Amino acid sequence: MKAAILGYGNVGKGACDIIAQSNTGLEVKRILARRMRPGMEDIITLDFNDILNDPEIEIVCEAIGGLSPAYQYVSAALKAGKHVVSANKELISHYYAELNALARENGVCLRFAPSSGGGIPWLPNLIRAKRCDSIEEISCILNGTTNYILYNMTEKSLSFETALKGAQDAGYAEADPSADIDGEDTRRKCAISASIAFDVALDENSVDVFGIRHITAGDIAAFKEMGKVCKLMVKAGVKDEKIYAYVEPTLLSSSSLESAVPLNYNIGSLVGRSIGKLSFYGQGAGSLPTGSSMVQDMIDIKEGISGAPAPRSTAKADNSAESHRYYIRTSASVKGLRSISDGDSKFYITDEEYTVAEMHEMAAEIRKSDPNAFFAGICG
Ligand SMILES: NC(=O)c1ccc[n+]([C@@H]2O[C@H](COP(=O)([O-])OP(=O)(O)OC[C@H]3O[C@@H](n4cnc5c(N)ncnc54)[C@H](OP(=O)(O)O)[C@@H]3O)[C@@H](O)[C@H]2O)c1
């Protein structure tokens, strides 16, 4: 089966290398790039129409990133009756309903395993579990950069700034790390994973998100005293017939599976009504791991294995039924909370459970007077 790769960067090159080294029955006929590479004149094109108008190319793999021109290329490929694999979480979470519908209308497959979990077969196994089970909850660590920062802050007692610099030096964090440390990248992966788990097209903007930009070494020291480890968790499930979905720093028991996830690794877990908890662990990013996930999707297409089920409807996350206790560190006074520590590193542990919706609203309010405030959910 002949394929084209759009974008010859980390993921696109990784996928090409894996196909070249293995016996998949796939052939990369064309690569779309923005500039020619010496010795690759026969395979690289700078014109997407060379791919769109080539009837031999049956699969188009998008590894460009961003919304435009990825959206235009993916839509055109689907309309031309070509299967699509995309690594692009921004594209998939933004256009989930539309691109899924377009694939169905044109009788082709849209797959996007590399978009959430990098090299981990997280989305394919979520789809597989649903064939004979219903998903009750998903809980995941899906951002390697923030896990690397939190891991090094915890293990080496580093400040946030030093741990972030280490992540940048190691090539895990970008020069502008905002999308990772503010949780936007994770929000998109949450929306995609929850859409699959609960058969909807979940509005990414309805997913409550709080990142780790303001976590301090003092917070980490307090968590250690509590016997907790902080991770940036994706959580989604169904409660009172409402889909909850959110991303927030979460304090986990130091003996939990998730608290043991090191460095830039990821984990995706589902709870099925019949199967119970199933977890998938590995490298959530990187050229070859993510390229491998892209090639696995291509092989599934070649073998006629279907992708995600059609969303039944569009939906917004409703976090008013999901609740737990919270750690809140702020210099602002917070009414109704029990303070357990005073002084420079003042923090609160809520006595009662707060709904996720309430906490995220309260945090937005607190941060008007204390922009450096930090909170984390307490689980386990
Ligand atoms: N890297 C990972 O580990 C990873 C993991 C999971 C998912 N992803 C996702 O995979 C996608 C690609 O990421 P990446 O890390 O491979 O990015 P990357 O290394 O920056 O590669 C993107 C490539 O696309 C090319 N490109 C950009 N616009 C183009 C256009 N209009 N036409 C043709 N080529 C174009 C770029 O060309 P130039 O070289 O000219 O800039 C670059 O080579 C993103 O959506 C990312 O979120 C990445």
Give tens-digit pLDDT for 199-215.
999 999 999 999 999 99
Which of 130, 189, 228, 231 does the annotation list as catalytic? Answer: 189
CA dist 128 and 175 (Å) reads 37
- pTM of the full structure: 0.97
Query: Which of 6, 8, 10 maximizes ligand 1 atoms within 8 Å of its Cβ, making it the mutation to test the pocket?
Result: 10
How far does the centroid of ligand 1 lie from the alpha carbon of residue 80, in Å? Answer: 23
| Residue 69 Cα: closest atom of ligand 1 | 31
- For the stretch 113-155, pLDDT in tens is 999 999 999 999 999 999 999 999 999 999 999 999 999 999 9
Residue 285 CA, closest ligand 1 atom number: 3
Question: 10 Å Cβ neighbour count for 21?
Answer: 9
Using CA positions, which residue lies closest to atom 33 of ligand 1?
Answer: 33
What residues does ligand 1 touch, defined as CB less than 6 Å away? 7-12, 32-35, 63-65, 69, 87-89, 114-115, 118, 285-286, 290
pLDDT digits (tens, 9 = 90+) for 77-110: 999 999 999 999 999 999 999 999 999 999 999 9
The residue ranking higher by pLDDT, 315 or 341, is 315
Q: How far is the CA of 305 from the centre of ligand 1 (A)?
A: 26
Q: Is 189 a catalytic residue?
A: yes
Q: How many CA atoms lie within 13 A of 30 on its CB side?
A: 21
Length of the chain measured in residues: 380
pLDDT above 70 covers a percentage of the chain that reads 97
Compute, in angstroms, the gap from residue 354 CA to the centroid of ligand 1.
40
Question: What would the DSSP string read from start to end of 303-352?
Answer: TT---SPPPSEEE---TTS-EEEEEEE-SS--TT--EEE-STT-EEE-SS
